[in-house]
Chains A and B, each alone.
Chain A
Amino acid sequence: MSEQEWPLWEVFIRSKQGLNHKHVGSLRAPDAQLAVDNARDVYTRRSEGISIWVVASNNVFASDASEADAFYDPSNSKVYRHPTFYDVPDGISHM
């Protein structure tokens, strides 16, 4: 096939003011503007969004899924970062 394939874009949508953009899927488009236009048609046909980000998929650098246990282990061992770690006597409120 001589045709050059359109690059892949990851699509993020803000559903309303006050919420962050959230990944909803991906699509192919020749450039960023058309990726936004296509994302509007594909992912917001029922008022799902008021703002769209697109990021070329090959620009996403992700943590390694196979190393996840070791990578996130340091935070799992620090239970004192959670409020439930601490003893509070019965009858104490607003804390």
Chain B
Amino acid sequence: METTSIDLLESNFQSKIDRDIKIEPKDWMPDDYRQTLIRQISQHAHSEVVGMLPEGNWITRAPNLRRKAVLLAKVQDEAGHGLYLYSATETLGADREELIDDLHEGRAKYSSIFNYPTLSWADMGAIGWLVDGAAIMNQVPLCRCSYGPYARAMVRVCKEESFHQRQGYEIMMSLANGSPEQKAMAQDALNRFWWPALMMFGPNDATSKHTAQSMKWKIKRNTNDELRQQFVDVTVPQAELIGLTIPDENLIWDEKTNHYITSPINWDEFWQVVNGNGPCNKERIEARKKAKENGKWVRDAAMAHAIKRNAINLLTA
């Protein structure tokens, strides 16, 4: 009896998904669907928040006021994106503080790209162009994700991200058109960020353990390899246009498929970084923990003030 009713609920649920009817917070959903979403959305939220750190590194050293104002606005957007996403996890019954604790205790993952250091100003260009570019490739299909609050958050995020990519490309273009030293700086940033950017799409389809189920639930709309290919195809001509070279000697255009073919990706490096051994994993988590600890007195004071004011309002009401 028990199993039959669950089976019925599950088949109704899948039929809604198949008919492209969005799932909303209070609708019945299988526990695995809920857990998959909490995992994916919280990793996404953590990535937005940790993603502020490599760029925050250059705010005080931006080359002029225009670049500085732009970078500040971009980093502020990332904080907002983290917030939309944590809010979306809360609609699934997740506890935001617990998710943040998971990040700080090393139990949660976030995008491996943010564990690479930002060594020069050109890295701000490479990140905006490649990292935000890859993020947009990933996020645009998520605007049609089956879970309503996640899809709506993604619509907002995608609208805001489009300036992020353009400002990055503009930085790269200025450097590429500048002095030989500036052009070398841009090329060096591309050399360091190209492969990590391709890894952002996650493991190859053959080894990606969540893809099949996530596609069936329409949480994901494209596989990792499909999105990675799209990214390569649009990005290679963008590099050529500003006179930069993709750091892959074997990169060729395949006329039969109308796609670029790259060298194989170094997945050992990817797993090393994902599992905590990238160049900046420790530093990133330490910075997050410190930010939370240092802000505690502000949060406590704001709460104490609110409680006190409520009490006064009750007395005078």
Contacts and interface: CB of A to CB of B under 8 A. Distances in A.
A65 B26 contact: yes
A5 B90 CA distance: 13
A6 B299 contact: yes
Contact of A66 (B28, B96, B309): B28
A46 B160 contact: yes
Contacts, number: 56
A20 to B, nearest CB: 18
B287 interface: no
A27 interface: yes
A31 B90 contact: no
B24 interface: yes
Interface in B77-96: 77, 80, 83-84, 87, 90-91, 96
B interface, over-half SS: helix
A28 B87 CA distance: 9
A34 B96 CA distance: 19
A45 B87 contact: no
B108 interface: no
Nearest to B80: A42
Q: What is the size category of the interface that chain A forms with chain B?
A: 20 to 34
A41 B80 CA distance: 8
B83 A42 contact: yes
B27 interface: yes
B11 interface: no
B33 to A, nearest CB: 15
Interface string A17-52: 000000001111011001000000110011000000
Contacts of B90: 8, 26
Interface stretch (B113-121, B173-181, B198-206, B300-308): B300-308
Contacts of A1: 97, 101
Contacts of A65: 24, 26-28
Contacts of A73: none
B153 interface: yes
A50 B317 CA distance: 30
B310 interface: yes
A45 B76 contact: yes
Nearest to B73: A45
A27 B305 contact: no
Shortest 8 CB-CB contacts between residues of A and residues of B: A31-B306, A65-B26, A30-B306, A30-B302, A30-B303, A26-B87, A42-B80, A65-B27
14 contacts: A3-B97, A6-B302, A6-B303, A25-B87, A25-B149, A25-B152, A25-B153, A26-B90, A27-B87, A30-B299, A30-B303, A31-B305, A45-B76, A65-B24
